[in-house]
Amino acid sequence: MGKNKLRKFAEMDRLECVFQYPFSVLRAEGFPLKGRWHEYFKNDNPIVLELGCGKGEYTVGLARTTPEKNFIGIDIKGARMWSGARQVAAEGLANAAFLRTSIELLPEFFAPGEVSEIWITFPDPQMRKASKRLTGTRFLEMYRHVLTPGGTVHLKTDSPFLSTYTREMLRANGITPEFDITDLYASPLQSHVPPIRTHYEQQWLDRGLTIKYIRFVLPPLPALIEPDVEIEPDTYRSYSRGELQMPELMSQTTND
C-alpha cells in the first residue's frame, strides 16, 4: 500500500465525520448509532444516503445546498471518501458524514424506517450481473428495509443500459416513477434535481452524452421481481470519479 493511502487512512481515523467499523466488530458489538443517527446530527431532520459516494462530491454538495436534511455518503473505498470527508471537516458541515462499508451491510447500520431518501449517483451499470446492480431487486429490497414508508430513491446515471433496466424493473413491479428524464439538462424538469455536477458527470456531458434521472418511491409490498427483457448493452467505458464541478456553489476548495 502506498504512503499516500496510508496517510489518508490515518487521517480518516481522526475525522469525527467518518465512521469505519470492521466486520468483526460490527458482528460482535453492533453499530451504536443504528436507529440513533439523529443523536450524531443533533437534530430530527430527514436522513439521506448517497450510495457509492466515491470522493463524496455529491454528498458534500447536497449538504451545502440542503441544510434542512442530513446526508451520509457510503462507500467501501476509504481513500476515495477521504477527499469529501476532509471538506466536511474543513467547512464544519454539521449535516454531513461518511460511512465506510459495503452497501450490502446497510441493515447493520440503519434501523427500519430510519432513512428518508437514497441517492444512487453514476454507479457501475453491472451489465453482466443483475444481482450487483444498485437498482436491482436484491438491493431495492434492502433499501425498502431502511427507508421510511414513502421514502424516495434517486438514480442519476450516464448509462442507457442502467436507466433502461431500472425503467423496466419499475414497470415489471407496477411502480410509476415520479420523474423519468432521459436528458436531464435539456429538460424543463431539471430544476427538480439539485444543481450538482461531478467532474465524472461533466466528462460525459463534454462528450455530448446525456444524463438520465429517475426518481421513484418503493411500495412496502409485495416482493419485487426482475424484469424479463433483453437490454442493449452500453458501448463505451466509464471514467473514474473526480472533483466536483459546481462553481456557483463551491466557494471553498481543499488542496490535496
Per-residue pLDDT tens digits for 104-145: 999 999 999 999 999 999 999 999 999 999 999 999 999 999
Give dist(CA 57, CA 86) in Å, integer: 11
Per-residue pLDDT tens digits for 48-73: 999 999 999 999 999 999 999 999 99
Per-residue pLDDT tens digits for 154-188: 999 999 999 999 999 999 999 999 999 999 999 99
The answer to whether residue 180 is catalytic is no
How sure is the predictor about 3, in pLDDT bands with cuts at 50, 70 and 90? low
Q: Rounded to the nearest 5°, which phi and psi values hold at 8?
A: -65, -45
The two beta strands, 18-20 and 96-100, are: parallel
Please, are residues 70 and 37 in contact by the beta-carbon 8 Å criterion?
Answer: yes
Residues in Cβ contact with 89 at an 8 Å cutoff, skipping those fewer than 6 apart: 15, 16, 17
Q: Which of 153, 147, 140, 163 is nearest to 226 (CA)?
A: 140
The residue annotated as part of the active site, out of 13, 44, 75, 124, is 124
